[in-house]
Amino acid sequence: MFPAIPPATRAILIANVIVYLLELATQNTLIELFALWPLGPLFHPWQVVTYAFLHEPHNFLHILFNMFALYMFGGPLETYWGKSRFVVFYFASVLAAAATELLVLTSSGVVEPVIGASGGVFGLLLGFAWFFPRQRLIVLPIPIPIPAWLFVTIYGGLELLLGVTGAQDSVAHFAHLGGMLGGAIMILLWRTRDSDRSALR
């Protein structure tokens, strides 16, 4: 089954696993250098990308759920778009998630690292629901399959609620929403560009 994963999705999966193993070996060193920190002495420009390859080393479920979602939603989108467009979309979502979280951290004055691939993954969730809206998904604990568009709508609304209310303050809810926003912007830009090209023919 693993070789059937499209190449870019597979490369991102492998990179995340390798970095996770390095985190276990080096403890907090990678987080100090490569996690996304608020603007200030701990912030470096590369962190807006590198944070997406780090996960909580003492919480295996963090990387497990993110990589499972990357596999489930990234594979179909890469097959649909092709490798180049998929890579641009994924990292646009990662960057948008980072920008959103930097704004939130700066305005709140909170100094804490942000790690995880979930900003990119939430962009993939939105992309999957956009292009495969009727695809049925089984989401525990709901035993009934629901269409992708409904799942993403509910999930996005829940993230907004949790972010605004401050519940689960250890989770970067606004980064998740930023990833979805970045994905939506890329889709709209591509649709506009593709429509312009069609009009010129």
> How many structural domains comprise the chain?
1
CB count in 10 Å sphere of residue 198: 8
Res 96: pLDDT? 97
Write the pLDDT tens digit of every residue in 54-110. 999 988 999 999 999 999 999 999 999 999 999 999 999 999 999 999 998 888 777
* Measured distance CA(185)–CA(189) in Å, rounded: 6
* Measured distance CA(68)–CA(65) in Å, rounded: 5
Q: Whole domain around residue 82: which residue ranges? A: 2-200
> Would you say residue 48 has pLDDT above 70?
yes
Q: What is the 3-state secondary structure (H, E, C) of 62-107?
A: HHHHHHHHHHHHHHHHHHHHCHHHHHHHHHHHHHHHHHHHHHHHHH
* Measured distance CA(95)–CA(114) in Å, rounded: 13
Burial of 157: CB neighbours in 10 Å, binned 0-12, 13-18, 19+: exposed
Q: Tell me the two tokens of residue 184.
A: 């939506």
Percent of the chain at pLDDT exceeding 90: 63
Write the pLDDT tens digit of every residue in 185-198. 999 999 888 776 65
Q: Tell me the two tokens of residue 190.
A: 């591509």
DSSP tag of 107: H
CATH, residue 6: 1.20.1540.10
Write the pLDDT tens digit of every residue in 99-141. 999 998 888 777 789 999 999 999 999 999 999 999 988 776 6
Which candidate, 18, 25, 49, 19, places its Cα nearest to that of 36? 49
CB 40 within 8 A of CB 124: no
Look up the pTM and report it.
Answer: 0.90
Backbone angles phi, psi at 137, to 5 degrees: -125, 140
* Measured distance CA(87)–CA(124) in Å, rounded: 11
Res 168: pLDDT? 64
Which candidate, 127, 13, 146, 147, places its Cα nearest to that of 77? 127
CB 124 within 8 A of CB 93: yes
* Measured distance CA(151)–CA(170) in Å, rounded: 23
Who's near 171: CB < 8 A, 6+ residues apart? Answer: 162
Which candidate, 117, 92, 115, 84, places its Cα nearest to that of 12? 117
